[in-house]
Structure 1
Amino acid sequence: MQTPASPADRTWDDLLQSGTGPVQQTFLDLVRNTRDTVGYHPDIVWGNLQTPEYAAAMLRLVVDFHEIPADIEAGVAARTARAQYIGQGGRTYHVLLGEQALLTNIGGADVMRGQLRRLLDATVLSGLSLGIIPARARLQIYPGDGFSVFDDRRAEVEGFRGAETITDPARLAVFRKAFGLLQSSALYGQDARDLITRVLAAT
C-alpha cells in the first residue's frame, strides 16, 4: 500500500484539490518565512495587497474553474493575512504591477474601487517598493508570466497550466534578469500614485 504524501511533499495543485484554504495557508507560511520578496504581476493585483472583497471574487473564479471545494472564506482569511508582514521584521518587498492589473475587472466596479484605494495606500508602506508599468511603456523584455521570487532561492509561477515551483539556480537567474528589465519601465512614488488615481477616477 502506498504511503500518503505528507503536507510538505504535496504540490500546490495537489493542495488545491482540497480547496483554496490549504493552498493559501501553505503560501502564508512561505510568506512568513521569507525575508526578501520580488514579484511581477502583469494583470492581477499582488495577493499580499488584495482586499478581502477582491480576494473573495478572485478565489470564487478559482473555485468555479477548477471545480474544487468552495472554502472561500478560509482562503480569503489566509490570503489577506499576508499583508501583516509588510514592514515587519526587516522584510522587504519589491513588486511590479502591470497597468492591466489596475484594469482587470475582478468582482465589479465597487470591488475594484476599494482595491485601487488600497493600492494608493500601499505606495507609502514601509518595506514595500511598488512599481506600476504603464500599458504604453516601452518594454525592455517581451511580456511573460507573473512570478514571485522568495529569498532569491525559490520562484513561484502560476497559470492555467497549474502552479510551478522553481529552485534551480540557473532558472532563478532568468527571473532576476527579467525583473531588472521590467523594473526599468515602471513608475514609482507620485508617478505611480497619479496613474492609480487616474484609473480609479475612471472606474
Structure 2
Amino acid sequence: MATASGSADGTWDDLLQQGTGPVQESFLDLVRTTRHYLGYSPNVVWGNLQTPQYAEAMLHLVVDFHGIPDDIEAGVAARTARAQFIGQEGRTYHVLLGEQALLTNIGGPEVMHGQLRRLTDALSLPGLTLGIVPARARLLVYPGDGFSIFDDRRVEVEGFRGGETITAPERLAVFRKAFDRLQPSAVYGAAARDLIETALGGT
C-alpha cells in the first residue's frame, strides 16, 4: 500500500499522523540497510519502482483517506529515492507483482502509461528479479495481503488497518512460506514483458 510501518522514532500510526514524509523517510532508512529483499505486491506497483507521478497519486490517496498533513512532495522524494539502491553493493531484490498491479488505475492513463514503461525498463535492472503472477495463474497458496521481507529478519504488512512490523521468527517463517508458494505461479523475462505490454495497450 502507500505507507511503511514502524521506526525507531515511533509507531506507524504516530509517523503517519505527521504526514507522508516521516513515514517514507523511515522506510527509506530500512531499504538503505537491507541487503536481501523479498516482496509481494498483488494490486499496486512495488514502491521502489514507482515513478514520481505514480507515487504522488498514491500519496494523495493516503493523505485524503487518513486526513494527515499534506507534505506529499517530501513523501514522493523519499519514496522514489529507494530506487537508487537497486543493483548497488550486492543488494538483491526478488519482487512478485500480481497482474492486477498493472491494471489498478492510479493517477489516470498518462500516469499509468509512464509507470508501466518504467516496469519494462526495470526488467533488466541488475540485482532485481521481477516476476508477475498472471491473473489466471493457478495459486499454491490462498490470496493474502502484500508484504515485504527484509533480510529474513523483518516483515512489513500494510493495508487499510495500518501497518504491522513482524520480527518473531515463527511468524517470519509464515511469510517466507507464502512467498515460496507464490513464486512458482509467477512468470519472468519475456513472459512478464508481454503482460506489461498488454496492460500498456489498454492505457
TM tier relative to shorter chain: over 0.9
After TM superposition, the structure 1 = structure 2 runs for residues 180-195 of structure 1, keeping only pairs within 5 Å, are: 180-195=180-195
Query: What SS does the corresponding residue of 2:185 show, helix, strand or coil?
Result: coil
After TM superposition, the structure 1 = structure 2 runs for residues 19-98 of structure 1, keeping only pairs within 5 Å, are: 19-98=19-98
Give 1:11 shift.
Answer: 0.9
1:152-190: per-residue Cα shift (whole Å, max 9, x none)? Answer: 000000001110000000000000100011001000011
Query: What SS does the corresponding residue of 1:8 show, helix, strand or coil?
Result: coil
1:73-132: per-residue Cα shift (whole Å, max 9, x none)? Answer: 000000000000000010000000000000000000000000000000001100000000
CA distance, structure 2, for counterparts of residue 42 and residue 91 of structure 1: 23
Output the amino acid matched with 1:17.
Q
Larger Rg: 1
Query: What SS does the corresponding residue of 1:163 show, helix, strand or coil?
Result: strand
TM-score, with length taken from structure 1 = 0.96
CA distance, structure 2, for counterparts of residue 41 and residue 106 of structure 1: 14
Output the amino acid matched with 2:24.
Q
Output the amino acid matched with 1:132.
I
Who is 2:127 aligned against? 127
Give 1:36 shift.
Answer: 0.4
Query: What SS does the corresponding residue of 1:138 show, helix, strand or coil?
Result: coil
CA distance, structure 2, for counterparts of residue 8 and residue 166 of structure 1: 14
Query: What SS does the corresponding residue of 1:148 show, helix, strand or coil?
Result: strand
Output the amino acid matched with 2:11.
T
Query: What SS does the corresponding residue of 1:45 show, helix, strand or coil?
Result: coil
Output the amino acid matched with 2:166.
I
Output the amino acid matched with 2:8.
A
* Count of residue correspondences: 197
After TM superposition, the structure 1 = structure 2 runs for residues 173-184 of structure 1, keeping only pairs within 5 Å, are: 173-184=173-184
Residue segments in structure 2 that go unaligned for 5+ positions in a row? 1-6
CA distance, structure 2, for counterparts of residue 108 and residue 67 of structure 1: 22
Give 1:12 shift.
Answer: 1.4
Output the amino acid matched with 1:102.
L
Who is 1:145 aligned against? 145
Query: What SS does the corresponding residue of 2:18 show, helix, strand or coil?
Result: coil
CA distance, structure 2, for counterparts of residue 45 and residue 137 of structure 1: 19
Who is 1:117 aligned against? 117
Who is 1:107 aligned against? 107
Query: What SS does the corresponding residue of 2:62 show, helix, strand or coil?
Result: helix
CA distance, structure 2, for counterparts of residue 37 and residue 125 of structure 1: 15
Structure 1 runs of 4+ aligned residues shifted over 6 Å read none
Query: What SS does the corresponding residue of 1:192 show, helix, strand or coil?
Result: helix
TM-score, with length taken from structure 2 = 0.96
Give 1:9 shift.
Answer: 4.3
